[in-house]
Amino acid sequence: MALGQAPWSLWWLALPALTLLIRLIAVERRAAQAVWLGWIAGAGYFAAGLFWIVEPFFVDAKTYGWMAPFALFFMSFGMALFWALAAGIGTMGRSPGIRAVGFAFGLAATDLLRGYIFTGFPWALIGHIWIGTPIAQAAAFVGPVGLSALTAFAAALPVLAVTNGTRIGLAVLSVAGLAAVWATGAARLAAPETPRDPAIQVRLIQPNAAQHLKWRGDMWRIFLDRQMDQTALLANTPLDLIVWPETAVPFLLSDSAGFFAALADRSNGVPVAFGIQREEGLRFFNSLAAIDSEARVTAVYDKWHLVPFGEYIPFGDVMAAFGIAAFAAQQGNGYSPGQGPVVLDLGKAGRVLPLICYEAVFPQDLRVKGDRPDWILQITNDSWFGNIVGPYQHLAQARLRAIEQGLPLLRSANTGVTAVIDAKGRILDSLPLNTEGVLDTAVPPALAPTLYSRTGDLPATILVGLGLLGLITLRRRQSD
């Protein structure tokens, strides 16, 4: 099942594997055994799909490398508790068919829950196996949880049969349903789009600054100069904006006036947006800022959906009230969150919704009040997460965000993958991982606001809630 996730994207293998798991749980009469099976299967899935979680510990392997196996163990078995819960929901059914339906509802419900509980971690949802296929276009209407529900029920349908003949018929019906969604998505992909007028020209910069070298005393100047040189390259078409990746500037915002003047000079008057850190008293923020041709700061956005244990320690400020200040963001130990999502007016570059790294995995965070942005800008530093899985799964999530909102998404990544993604989630251009370079591109056109951009996860929540209520009601009637 994990091979359905990026970068493998073997959906045709993941789907029958999920069917097998649903059957194993559906025929298990003992509730404790079913929950145990769900937990162990989930641990294997998350360990195989999210093993990139160990990569940050090897940036400084001598100091932190010993922690890596513990991180993988606790993460995989901790995330697997959601699948154990899904299996527990399935055990409310008296028959294998009802247990299969219950487990399918449970998987959809726990995928929804994972996006919100404990600040959320909606990574490797079962519906993500469709990213890169026409079926992913359904996310414009039902979102990622809707894709998960579609996947779970398509896999569960053959399990409802009581005879081999019926099982084959239901499998054909499942494939036919998926084929219909596939064809609808393909038609959406083929529909013509109105070009953006006026065009917006953007340069995306990828300096390829390896994380273990990025802040080293003899290297940070090399990487900074590399970005300055990339900024100064002549463009074939006049640019409206140049974008540097997350934490690309090695100075604090308040200490960078001289640097901004040099940057404005090297950009030939083109506005530049970049990742930078800033401070307010003892608090620090992971920010995106933009300067104009006069080196004036015209926009600032502070990342607000921070990575727990990576950018801050949960309840660190609360612990400070009891004299334990070592983890408190208010004491400068970790980042503080910003005020929330905003839309930045970047002049000729249009109205932009900024995302910093991890924020791109939360679809609910892209639904902002007020005027709709023209496009989405993500700056990120995926060099923390290795070269095999993490950066590609992060890129896949960005593609899904574009589909859900009907907005193009441009991402500038420190070591990659820098990419131009259109409003249907297609990668129009990209820079390979672990290379340096620039992408000069026109921002793709936006589509009309999607259903999902208006409703978010509310329809999926109602569907899952009704399904769970139906299971509880059926259970009570069977008990009576």
Rounded Cα distance, 10 and 29, in Å: 31
62 belongs to the catalytic site: no
Q: Choose the catalytic residue: 55, 246, 311, 359.
A: 246
369 belongs to the catalytic site: no
Residue in this structure with the two tokens 């896999």, named with its chain if needed: 155
Q: Choose the catalytic residue: 303, 359, 404, 424.
A: 303
Asked if 263 contacts 224 with a C-beta cutoff of 8 angstroms, the reply is no
Q: Choose the catalytic residue: 357, 359, 404, 424.
A: 357
246 belongs to the catalytic site: yes
Active-site residues, by number, are 246, 303, 357
